[in-house]
Amino acid sequence: MADLAHGKPGAGTVPLADHAPTTRRDFLTVAGYAIAAVGAVCVAWPILDSMNPAADVLAAGAPVDIDLSRVQPGQQIVVLWRSRPIFVVNRTPELLKTLQDPRDISLLSDPNSTAPQQPEYATNWHRSIQPQYLVLVGICTHLGCIPSFMPQPNSVSPGWLGGYFCPCHGSRYDLSGRVYSGVPAPYNLPVPPYRFLSKTMIRIGENPPDGGDFSLESVEQI
C-alpha cells in the first residue's frame, strides 16, 4: 500500500476500475443513461415539431380554382396557393414557337425537364397540360425571389426570346420556366399539381384523375 500512497504503479496496487468485471451496477448505470436519452428525445420532439407548419397553415393549402377565360393572350396572372405565387400564362402561338427554337434549347440547362420539377403530365416541351396555358410556381429556384415576367423579345438583353428574369441574382428562364445555363438558379421553375375542370377552368392543387399523386413535396427545389 506504500506504493499507492506515493501514486506509483506497480505490484500491490489495486486493479483499476475498467479492469473490474461487469457488475449489476454497471448495467443499471448504462440502462439509466439510455432511458434518460430516450426521455430527452421524447421531450425534444414535441418542442421541435411545434415549429413545423400548424394545422391552419396546412388547411390554407386547399386547392384554388381559376377561370382561364379572363386571361388575355400573352397575359400573365398571379394567384396565391399555399402562400406561394402561382403564375398562369396564356401563351400565344408566337410565344410557343420560341420554346422549340433551337437557339433557345441550346442555351437551356435542362431543356427536356429531366429533373423532377413538374408532374409527369407536364413533362413535355411546353411543360403544361395544354400548350397554351402555362402554370408555374413563381419562385426562383435559386433563393426564392419572384422572377419578373418579361415576354417581350430583347427586353432583358439583346437576343432575349422572352421569358422570366429574376431581379435578385440574375437567373433567367424561358417561357416554359426552363432555366438557362450559366445562371445561379439550379433547376427549372416547378409546375404545381393542377387539372382542368372544364375547357376554361383549372384547379390548382389537384392532379388530373389519371395524373398520379404528384405534390410539391416531391420536387427537387422550390
Cα separation, 139 vs 136, in Å, equals: 9
Cell of 140: 426562383
* Binding pattern for the stretch 24-43 against other proteins, x by CB under 8 A and - elsewhere: --------------------
Q: How far is the CB of 8 from other proteins (least distance, A)?
A: 31
* 116 interacts with other proteins by CB under 8 A: no
* 195 interacts with other proteins by CB under 8 A: no
Q: Enumerate long-range contacts of 119-124, CB under 8 Å, 24 or more apart.
A: 119/191, 119/193, 119/207, 119/211, 119/212, 119/214, 120/211, 120/212, 120/214, 121/207, 121/208, 121/211, 121/212, 122/191
By CB under 8 A, name the one of 54, 62, 197, 201 that touches other proteins.
Answer: 54
Q: How far is the CB of 85 from other proteins (least distance, A)?
A: 6
Cell of 175: 417561357
Cell of 20: 473490474
- Residue 19 annotated as catalytic: no
By CB under 8 A, name the one of 71, 96, 146, 156 that touches other proteins.
Answer: 146
State the residues that interact with other proteins by CB under 8 A: 48, 51-54, 57, 61, 78, 80, 82-85, 141-146, 148, 166-170, 182-186, 217, 221-222
